[in-house]
Chains A and B, each alone.
Chain A
Amino acid sequence: MVRFNMILLLIVVVCALGVVTSQHRARKLFQDLEGEQERARQLDVEFGQLQLELSTWATHPRIEQIARDRLHMLLPDARPVVTPAAVKPAANRMGH
């Protein structure tokens, strides 16, 4: 009977230690997860800033100015313009 109790006690101690270690590991992993999530948030912020920068560089007035002044581009005369009838404007304009 005594021996049986000792075995049970041992098992309890081992389990208790197991709980402690797994709790510790869980917290470690959780911290890593937090870190990665923080990184994701920061990358998201950076993405937003880059998008903003992109759209600032790509504003139409700027594009027109560069096309006209630096690249000396002109609108074509209507005469040689051929618009392909097959182009479906809807398909053309489905966003990025």
Chain B
Amino acid sequence: MAVRRRPQRGHRFTESPVLQLALQGWRSRTVGLVLMGAFLLLVGRGFYLQVINNDFLQEKGDSRYRRDIEVSASRGKIVDRNGDMLAVSTPMKSIWAIPGDARTMTAAQKKQLSALLEMSVRELDGKIASEKTFTFVKRQLPPETADRIAALKLPGIHQELEYRRYYPTGDMTAHIVGFTGVDDKGLEGVELAFQQSLLGHPGSRTVIRDRRGSIVEDVGATKPPQDGKDVRLALDSKIQYLAYSNLKAAVESNNAKAGGAIVIDTRSGEILALVNWPTYNPNNRHGLSGAQLRNRALTDTFEPGSVMKPFTAALALDKGKVRFDTIINCAPGHLTIGNATISDAHPHGALTVAQVIQKSSNVGTAKIALGFQPREMWEMFDAVGFGQAPNLGFPGEVNGRLRPWKTWKPIEQATMSYGHGIAVSLVQLARAYTVFARDGELLPLSLTRLDDAPVRGINVFSPQTVREIRAMLEMAVQPEGTAPKARVAGYRVGGKTGTAYKVEGGVYAKKYVASFVGIAPISEPRLVVAVMIDEPSNGAHFGGDVAGPAFSQIMSGALRTMGIPSDAPVQVVAAAPGKEAL
């Protein structure tokens, strides 16, 4: 038997033919490359997602944690000159519902909610029965109630922040302050005139919220909210109240249709009070009529009547046509120009210029006026601000009516000298009287408080003329004048009455507008007060009887409020019977 010898050189392990076959290099390299390729793919994908096309993931992340929130801004306050609130916004909550979700409330929850909302369950059911996806359940709820509702965590019930405007002074300042509509939009008065500066601009910020909803970081740009600026009016709410209550009393006691009153500080041209009657409550504006809403003092014109006479006299003095004591023959109490006749309410004889004003003689004033060129008179009326809006920036200010002088006929020139055939607003009238309070200078008026040095006006009359006119105005409130009831105890006052027929449909009706405009203290004028009563129908209709007492009350209250020292020896104010006016 042959024994197969093992080969001499035994195989070593590595020499195993199986192993010798070995792994060909390409295979391992292939696997390596594939793995490497896969890695590269991942890196590439990662790079793509993180660097090149990262918007999508960023968006997803942001949608989970990042929130844009609006930061609300409140509307500016309106305050009076001393900082008393006239209009202020306060946050309120509105409760709204997603009706579908809200219907899942249990009966007990509905009961709780309706109790807090002060409505019946049935009413609440009615609100959420709608098929819409949004419905207001109740608007303008006090924040405390809203917080209690939020604590109930009711399904489908949500809240929203709103602001509500309050007017603490109510009807007293309604016309001047005005009011806002929805969305903080000013609709009337100062709220409208100063809309731009009162309006707040909400800010925004982008934040990251954590799981529990609290803000952990500000990211991106934040825009701070801009609260509306406060408006500080020139109004003094105390004087406003005096004017309001006395005007109201005067309108009611004279059974008049309407009325207006203005108080102006003659040092600065600031309007300290401006009231109208009838008025309204801006906090509750249901069923308002146009008559209540009208700011008559600014938007209505009337033929002023005799309150215009001092301007005619001042022009005559200024031009040197007459002197203080020039005698004018007013007999026999009427004067015919062309085919028209003008007359005095009570015939007078010969009067000095000063007495013409004191006794309010139409004939005397017309005689003075006929000595002017129409143009001279027009220029004077224009210079004291008639025929042009007073430029307060207030909505609805009117120009009044002052016809061009070229069209004037002599009779018109005569009637205009005593305030007929010319229409003005009460504000224009009051402003024009600042000329007599300020040595001949016409001031621009201001609704807002002025803290700067007193403004300069335009000179209309010479200081000497104005001093003489002031003396005449003071004479008018003496017992011999037309308005003894306008006197103020302790102060020297001066003023002029006006009793004018109203124009209705182009003709003079037997209805009157009684007015009084005056200044005080005469020794150093500080205030102009103008009062107008529309259609007094309780017997008296003369300016001195109707508007005079209201003037006296408002003026004395305002002088006292402002702490202006008295300049007159105290006398007893005689309740003399009303003198002739017109």
Interface size class of A (residues with CB under 8 A): 20 to 34
Interface positions, chain A 26-84, Cβ under 8 Å from B, are 26-27, 30-31, 34, 45, 48-49, 51-52, 55-56, 58-61, 64, 77-79, 81, 83-84
Decide if A5 is an interface residue (CB 8 Å cutoff). no
The reply to whether B216 and A27 form a contact with Cβ atoms under 8 Å apart is yes
Decide if B471 is an interface residue (CB 8 Å cutoff). no
Query: Among A49, A92, A96, which residue has its beta carbon within 8 angstroms of that of B563?
Result: A92
**Chain A interface mostly:** helix
What is the size, in residues, of chain B's interface with A at 8 Å between Cβ atoms? 37
Give bound CA distance, A27 to B210, whole Å: 10
Give bound CA distance, A49 to B92, whole Å: 11
Interface string of B139-180 (1 = CB under 8 A from A): 000010000000000000000000000101110100000000
The reply to whether B238 and A52 form a contact with Cβ atoms under 8 Å apart is no
Give bound CA distance, A27 to B168, whole Å: 43
* A51 touching B217 in the complex, CB below 8 Å, given contacts A56-B168, A85-B565, A87-B563: no
Give bound CA distance, A59 to B80, whole Å: 13
Chain A residues with CB below 8 A from B210, complex form: 27
The reply to whether B570 and A79 form a contact with Cβ atoms under 8 Å apart is yes
* A52 touching B166 in the complex, CB below 8 Å, given contacts A27-B216, A34-B215, A45-B143: yes
Chain A residues with CB below 8 A from B84, complex form: 55, 58
Give bound CA distance, A60 to B248, whole Å: 15
The reply to whether B88 and A52 form a contact with Cβ atoms under 8 Å apart is yes
Task: Please give me the residue from chain B that is nearest to A28 by CB atom.
Answer: B216
Give bound CA distance, A41 to B169, whole Å: 26
Task: Please give me the residue from chain A that is nearest to B488 by CB atom.
Answer: A78
Decide if B478 is an interface residue (CB 8 Å cutoff). no
The reply to whether B83 and A31 form a contact with Cβ atoms under 8 Å apart is no
Interface positions, chain B 213-246, Cβ under 8 Å from A, are 214-218, 236-238, 241, 245
Task: Please give me the residue from chain A that is nearest to B72 by CB atom.
Answer: A41
* A59 touching B90 in the complex, CB below 8 Å, given contacts A31-B214, A89-B564: no
* A89 touching B563 in the complex, CB below 8 Å, given contacts A45-B143, A59-B170: yes
The reply to whether A52 and B214 form a contact with Cβ atoms under 8 Å apart is no
The reply to whether B215 and A52 form a contact with Cβ atoms under 8 Å apart is no
Interface string of B284-307 (1 = CB under 8 A from A): 000000000000000000000000
Give bound CA distance, A62 to B36, whole Å: 89
* A83 touching B564 in the complex, CB below 8 Å, given contacts A52-B166, A60-B237, A78-B489: yes
The reply to whether A96 and B83 form a contact with Cβ atoms under 8 Å apart is yes
* A61 touching B216 in the complex, CB below 8 Å, given contacts A48-B90, A78-B489, A83-B565: no
- Chain A proximity of B467: nearest CB distance (Å): 22
- Chain A proximity of B151: nearest CB distance (Å): 16
Chain A residues with CB below 8 A from B82, complex form: 93, 95-96
The reply to whether B85 and A81 form a contact with Cβ atoms under 8 Å apart is no
Decide if B347 is an interface residue (CB 8 Å cutoff). no
Chain A residues with CB below 8 A from B83, complex form: 95-96
Task: Please give me the residue from chain B that is nearest to A35 by CB atom.
Answer: B214
Give bound CA distance, A60 to B235, whole Å: 14
Task: Please give me the residue from chain B that is nearest to A96 by CB atom.
Answer: B83
Task: Please give me the residue from chain A that is nearest to B449 by CB atom.
Answer: A95
Binding site for B on A (CB under 8 A): 26-27, 30-31, 34, 45, 48-49, 51-52, 55-56, 58-61, 64, 77-79, 81, 83-85, 87, 89, 92-93, 95-96
Binding site for A on B (CB under 8 A): 74, 81-85, 88-91, 143, 166, 168-170, 172, 210, 214-218, 236-238, 241, 245, 489-490, 556, 560, 562-566, 570
Contacts beyond the supplied A30-B217, A92-B563, A95-B81: 11 A-B pairs with Cβ under 8 Å: A26-B217, A30-B216, A34-B214, A34-B215, A55-B84, A58-B84, A61-B241, A93-B82, A93-B236, A93-B562, A95-B83
